[in-house]
Structure 1
């Protein structure tokens, strides 16, 4: 992997200064004016708090911090994944059980002293959520016994989660938004000055993964300014539009497009800093939520009095789908992931099989309540920007046409971001899962043949899976299978016969790969991309 210094240089190369306040910003306060302070948004860091996060909670909560110290230390951690049967993993079984016993023996610490201190509450949620995932995923896997989050973690985590309005599990906010601090504390948090506080594996890959997400959030702060500029125009209709208003809206959309393109550039860079196999084998297993196993987790001792909600019984792990920034872009551009809006100017797209229309809405429960309120504010605009574009779409005015074209360019840029996300999911999750299946098949005693040869390229399950994606319209995802090395266009449509086991021959058609969000990751991302395309405003021919 390339060094993190190179990541810093790459991010810095696309830094743009925030644009000066345009002349089209309203000068008088409006009842609908968007105030960042109201939604706890920083003008410079967006949804990442601009204040330096606490490194440790005050003394009453020392047991939590000490427990985290023992596992937030990479190879020196006393824990290993429960399914890790490597010599190192087996060697840590005893120390891991001692660590878990110490967790169970802790007192249930009260959270009332934190009330009114948002920095302590964020730190508490981060520490407790990481401890929960370290605890649960270091247990031996079981298909019949429900994993139990012990009361010393469960009760304070649920109480703090209720106060913050966020799910009691590890979230994107914990791994990214509240998990970064300036590398040089004499300088503000900014691209190139980021340090990650907590991780599972202790690898540079995991730090880089979080850092790429943080870079996206920091660059996204500029897009939030553009949303505020449009909101603060306080447009009610398009009947008496002034020319400068049309120009202002077009300028907003042009800048949004540029910012989304920057986010895509940063996202694509993850390939250089985080190895797919390291992510899949050493990082992603720790992310899994209670919905990913056969039996949901049990939060010991929690009741409604602690703020427990029934919908928290099955929860997803952290994922990019929980980024408020991406939801804000959707809300601003009026992208309808629920596919419920049926106005005549929305392109009809047949929903894909297995399309989870409620996924994006569900992901909002993993955001702090104040950030959900921001999404509601953007989504409840008196005159959404897409409505503005559709209202002028039949106008012969060049300025009106420019608005529609700029709007569609922004939507296309967002679709390209999702194309990039889908490609990354294929490489980092789907391909790795299919590769693991293929390796398990190859090593299975059921296939004991002498000599044991690797499957022929034409029978590669990963190649077959990618070929299916090509047939379904994603020919540009991956040109070459990373396992067989074959160009996808050269993969036979019917895989050749493989060694004798019909069960293992079906690996290319096996169950969908489930993401940490709890859904079929490829179907979900393709559906999100489809609903993004649906927002494009038709233009007269």
Structure 2
């Protein structure tokens, strides 16, 4: 007997807004008992700027969670404490590896209630951190959105979060559409499945257009140096000053207080993108694993390959999604049948074209995302590394730039200067090479996976289920460039190494990125 098709409402998922809450996020906790939290959050930017946040938080009382009643209040409290916690950890001259009881005690309880880790997740900074400017306009329009909290108080940070919010809202109806498609596939109704896939592809095109708007109001330099440090987690942060992670101080002083490590906030924690992969039957392998070709003696198994191993990083990111959302993805995977349905109808051209169209649009979205990662992360990190290699702390001091006191070792000075770079949640390995190509390979994601390699492999795997031969060739092609072999012997098919660039036309004009990284935030 086939498992039942998941019902969105059973998982708190909106048929119109998707994984965004059905009830808009609260702008304030209704119980005055929590005014102290609200006051700190309302003045977060000033407290961080004046370096007074830690003193204020240390003097806060340990508030009980008994006054939190409805789900919206629990979500508001989680987002509040996540912002305060990250401001406390990363808002000083050096990071704090201990979170005081005034935050730790309620944060741990609230995190358990909302089924999330006690860290600033994608849910805390995006899903539950927005409000519409006008109630009679949709929340899938960027011009109608505002954030509730930021670390910097700047437009760039708000825009970074709100692009994701608008994409979540615009993509929400896709879930109802594809649940209908799954039900239709069970009944053998090819016309309905085709119609749903066409609607899916159109919505994906809308999401690509929204993603391309990231650069309208979010400057890469501000994002990399001012915003990303506050989104860092406590995992893989040795270079940033948290070699062991973070202690959640509950005041007990017992053995329960141990160092813990969590990944930082990332778009990889969006349930929407994982839903797309699951419903289309896209399988992701561990980073670096190649697709296995069928052996000559393979007699076939009806077109169904053995299931791919579960991708550790992708599955780990589900721990950073609200519990009901992660369970929804698990249950959808048990009923996903669209890929098998399409593969089983080789003569149904409209169905197969619609399916391949969805894969093509999703691949295009990942291509744009790789370009954004390049522009907002890879290029700024390379610039920082180039400056750190060419300028000693003494040279920086002579140029009038801030540096550590001369009495401290030069190594400590370099560490202080690179705090923002190292604490971004996606940083270089400690054994960074001077080779730019090797640096990109060493660039790590929040989950410890190789960032660019992971993104490019995920993009390439998106096109693998394509059913039409032409589509397969189109989405697996490697770009060739005239004259690429004239000066770069031994690098066939590569375009000029790290200094070569390719132009990308965006809505705000033309900009360039490294070709071997990709075309246009952090998946």
Q: Which residue of structure 1 aligns with residue 360 of structure 2? A: 412
1:211-226 matches, within 5 Å, as 211-226=162-177
Residue in 2 that maps onto 1:39: 11
CA gap of 1:226–1:514, structure 2 versus 1, over 3 A, is same
Within the alignment, does 1:122 sit opposite 2:72 as a pair? no
- How far did residue 534 of structure 1 move? 2.6
Structure-2 residue corresponding to 1:83:
none
1:537 deviates by 3.3
Give the structure 2 partner of residue 178 of structure 1. Answer: 128
Query: How far did 1:189 drift?
Result: 3.4
Displacement of 1:538 in angstroms is 5.8
Aligned pair partner of 1:195 in 146, 150, 153:
146
Q: Report how far residue 135 of structure 1 moved.
A: 0.3
Q: Please give the alpha-carbon distance, in whole angstroms, between the structure 1 residues aligned to 2:354 and 2:138.
A: 33
* Counterpart for residue 79 of structure 1: 48
Gaps of 5+ in 2: 295-299, 400-431, 473-523
Q: Partner of 2:373 in structure 1?
A: 425
Q: CA deviation at 1:105?
A: 2.6
Kept in 2: contact 1:212–1:267 (CA 8 A):
yes
Q: Which residue of 2 aligns with 1:69?
A: 42
CA distance in 2, matches of 1:371, 1:504: 40
- Aligned equivalents of 2:85 and 2:450: distance in 1? 24
Does residue 512 (structure 1) correspond to residue 442 (structure 2)? The answer is yes
Q: Which residue of 2 aligns with 1:524?
A: 454
Tell me which residue corresponds to 1:163: 113
User: What is the distance in 2 between the residues matched to 1:419 and 1:429?
Assistant: 15
**Equivalent position SS for 1:113:** coil
What displacement does 1:216 show?
Answer: 0.7
Alignment of 1:114-513 (within 5 A): 114-115=68-69, 117-141=70-94, 147-185=97-135, 187=137, 189-191=139-141, 192-233=143-184, 235=186, 241=188, 245-294=189-238, 295=243, 296-301=245-250, 313-338=260-285, 357-381=311-335, 384-393=337-346, 397=347, 400-444=348-392, 505-506=434-435, 509-510=438-439, 512-513=442-443
Residue 234 and residue 161 in structure 1: after superposition, are their counterparts in 2 closer, same or farther (change >3 A)?
A: farther
TM-score, reference length from structure 1 = 0.70
- The residue that corresponds to 1:456 in the other structure is none
- Equivalent position SS for 1:224: helix
Instruction: Tell me the residue number matched to 2:483.
Output: none
Whole-Å separation in 2 of the counterparts to 1:318 and 1:246: 40
User: Is the CA contact 1:154–1:299 (under 8 Å) kept in the aligned structure 2?
Assistant: yes
Task: Work out the CA distance in 2 between the residues paired with 1:61 and 1:197.
Answer: 16
Unaligned runs of 5+ in 1: 1-29, 81-91, 452-502
How many angstroms apart in 1 are the aligned matches of 2:60 and 2:345? Answer: 63
CA distance in 1, matches of 2:310, 2:381: 21
The answer to whether the Cα contact below 8 Å between 2:132 and 2:145 also exists between their aligned partners in 1 is yes
Distance 1:300 1:386 in 2: 49
Cα distance between partner residues in 2 of 1:302 and 1:518: 31
Does the residue aligned with 1:317 lie in a helix, a strand or coil?
Answer: coil
**Distance between the aligned counterparts of 1:176 and 1:38, measured in 2?**
22
Quick one: structure 1 residues 175 and 206, their matched pair in 2 at CA, closer, same or farther if it must change by over 3 Å? same
Per the TM alignment, residue 515 of structure 1 is displaced from its structure 2 partner at its CA by 3.8
User: Number of aligned pairs?
Assistant: 415
CA change 1:519–1:65 in 2 (3 A) is farther
1:48 matched to 2:20? The reply is yes
Q: Is the 8 A contact 1:257 1:410 kept in 2?
A: yes
In 2, distance between residues paired with 1:59 and 1:252?
A: 48
- Tell which deviates more after alignment, 45-54 or 208-217: 45-54
8 Å Cα contact 2:122/2:266 also seen in 1: yes
Contact 2:48 2:92 (8 Å CA) reproduced = no
Residues in 2 aligned to 1:292 and 1:174: alpha-carbon distance in whole angstroms? 21
1:158 and 1:302 in contact (8 A); partners too = no
Could you say which residue in structure 2 is the equivalent of 1:486? Answer: none
TM-score (norm 2): 0.72
Q: Could you list the per-position Cα deviations for residues 280-314 of structure 1 after superposition, in whole angstroms to 9, with x for gaps in the alignment?
A: 011111100001411211111289x9xx999x922
